[in-house]
Amino acid sequence: RALLADWDHTLWQVNELLEGDAHPRFVLASGEGATFAARLVQSGAFKARAFALVGGGDAPADPGEPTPSPAPGAERPPVLLLAAPESEKVNQLDKRLSGAGLPHVRCARAGAAPLSTADVEVALRFFQRGAAFTCDGAAPAPPKVEKPRAKR
């Protein structure tokens, strides 16, 4: 909690220095940082517009630590899980996010290498598109609308 309070103070200072209204927050985290960010998503302890988690996963709570509860529906940011398909920790996190009804998409990446330029580019596309994001980078197809047939 002390760490989050420090972040809030720093973000308040940044918003004061920048002109205009409050600026959106996006979180890109990798490895153990992604595991920590996953806890923030599940608990709603850090307000961000979206989270991109690269190569991290679910971690069991420490003994005596309260179990995170999801934020209210209106405050649930979308989450990008970017990991190797065989990552068991990410499989567990995927199931936990689904069970909590948190919006997320999972995309494959090669191996357990450190954060790459390609990972950052995927995260930035995700942050820009939000719910319209697809892993292959294409915009989702618009829903088909059948035109009424002319009567003969």
**How far apart, in whole angstroms, are the C-alpha atoms of residue 57 and residue 50?**
16
Q: Bin 31: left if φ > 0, else alpha if -120 < ψ < 50, else beta.
A: left
Report the side by side order of strands in the sheet with 79-83.
26-30, 50-54, 79-83, 104-108
pLDDT tens for 129-141 read 977 888 875 444 4
Q: Does the pLDDT of residue 127 top 90, yes or no?
A: yes
End-to-end CA distance of the chain: 70
C-alpha to C-alpha distance for 137 and 18, rounded to whole angstroms: 31
Confidence check: pLDDT of 145 > 70: no
Indicate whether this model's pTM tops 0.95.
no
Range list of β-strands (E), the chain = 26-30, 50-54, 79-83, 104-108
Read off the amino acid at residue 21: D
pLDDT at res. 139: 44
Amino acid at 38: A
> Among the residues of 82-130, which ranges form H helices?
88-99, 117-129
